Amino acid sequence: MIVNRRIISSLFTTTRSYQVTVVGATSEVGQVLSLLLRSLPLITKLVVHDNKEFTPGVTLDLSQIPSPSRILGLTGEDTLERALKNSDLIIAAGGLSQRPDISEKALLTANSQFIKSIISKLGRSCPIPFVGIVTEPINYLIPMTAEIMRNHGVYDEKKLFGITEIDAIRSQCLYATENNLKANDCYVPVIGGHSDKTIVPLLSQAKPTVEMKEKDLEEFTIKLRNCDGMITKAKRGCIPNLSVAYSSFLFTKSILDALEGSPAKIHAFVDNNDFGTSYFSSLVNLDKNGVKEMVRYSEFSKFECDLIEKSLQQLRKDVSKGRKILELA
């Protein structure tokens, strides 16, 4: 009887173990993200992968942080398939960073190759893991990634995410600063895409409600859209890796919570044709299968309607270009 009770008890107390793989783990974002992920109790195995020769050093550094998860570091293209095997979630955090001195062509060529190298190894994974992409430019790379995944027979539209939570937390902090509020008490939904021409903060839906003049709305939108550039300039050419890594950490936590069966939501750029763009970013409700439904908003202000229309025009161009750069991948 005692043995039976122990067996029954173990059945009810056992929780799932999750493996998360960070590809591009030695990048500016990848290192900070890997550090943050060491603190997540739901992760039992953290795999960090990169092609850089100092990857073992980053792994060693991370291994000396007390954590509930065990860590595995792998280096080189020939170990990528092993890094992805049995992963529940893969975060693509490598490739070139967006900087003023890097051309769009160079960025797309390098980063499309980086993404293809990951997706080409997923064909043997079963079940297909969740894939979150931090690598820029997200407006182009998510449509491209979807096409590559289709070609490899591994596409599940519910499991592919462009991580855009950074836009929401920036909007939250800017709103708090502008209105002398505490950031943790504020919320501003952000929709559209993930670029300086497609990010749309919905200040009419912000909490707590604050009356803002159209000039203030314009200035707020410009600030939000230019955050990357402002931070890179202030950091003397270094990208905003800290806040981007933190937003990717929040994304990871939400995905794992959803896999556990808990209510979860996150801002992400996903397969969605509500506005005729094929892909769209907004707050997304999650379940254990991935995207459950996108949160929809109504009663936009006139300023927001005009902004959305212009953003949609640009987003359609970006998505179309993303699909066409497949040959570069």
HSE of 138, CA atoms in CB hemisphere, 13 A: 29
**C-alpha to C-alpha distance for 86 and 43, rounded to whole angstroms:** 13
Tell me the DSSP string of 195-240: STTTEEE-GGG-BS-----HHHHHHHHHHHHTHHHHHHHHTTT---
**Which residues are CB-contacts of 60 (< 8 A; sequence separation ≥ 6)?**
73
Tell me the DSSP string of 147-192: HHHHHTT---TTSEEEE-HHHHHHHHHHHHHHTT--GGG-B--EEE
Catalytic, 194? Answer: yes
**C-alpha to C-alpha distance for 172 and 186, rounded to whole angstroms:** 6
**C-alpha to C-alpha distance for 56 and 301, rounded to whole angstroms:** 52
The answer on whether 29 is annotated among ligand-binding residues is: yes
The answer on whether 26 is annotated among ligand-binding residues is: yes
Q: What is the distance of C-alpha 281 from the center of its chain?
A: 11
Query: What type of residue sits at position 22?
Result: V
Among the listed residues 49, 152, 194, 267, the single catalytic one is 194
The answer on whether 28 is annotated among ligand-binding residues is: yes
The answer on whether 50 is annotated among ligand-binding residues is: yes
The 10 Å Cβ neighbour count of residue 178 is 16
Tell me the DSSP string of 62-113: HHTS--SSEEEEEESGGGHHHHHTT-SEEEE--S----TTS-HHHHHHHHHH
Helix (H) or strand (E) run with residue 266 in it? strand 264-271
The answer on whether 304 is annotated among ligand-binding residues is: no
The answer on whether 24 is annotated among ligand-binding residues is: yes
The SS3 of residue 282 is strand
Residues pairing with 105 in the sheet: none
The answer on whether 4 is annotated among ligand-binding residues is: no
The answer on whether 25 is annotated among ligand-binding residues is: yes
Q: What does the angle CA 174 – CA 251 – CA 161 come to, to the nearest 5 degrees? A: 105
Q: Binding site for NAD(+): what residues are annotated?
A: 24-30, 50, 111
Report the catalytic residues: 194
Could you list the residues known to form a binding site, using ranges. Answer: 24-30, 50, 111
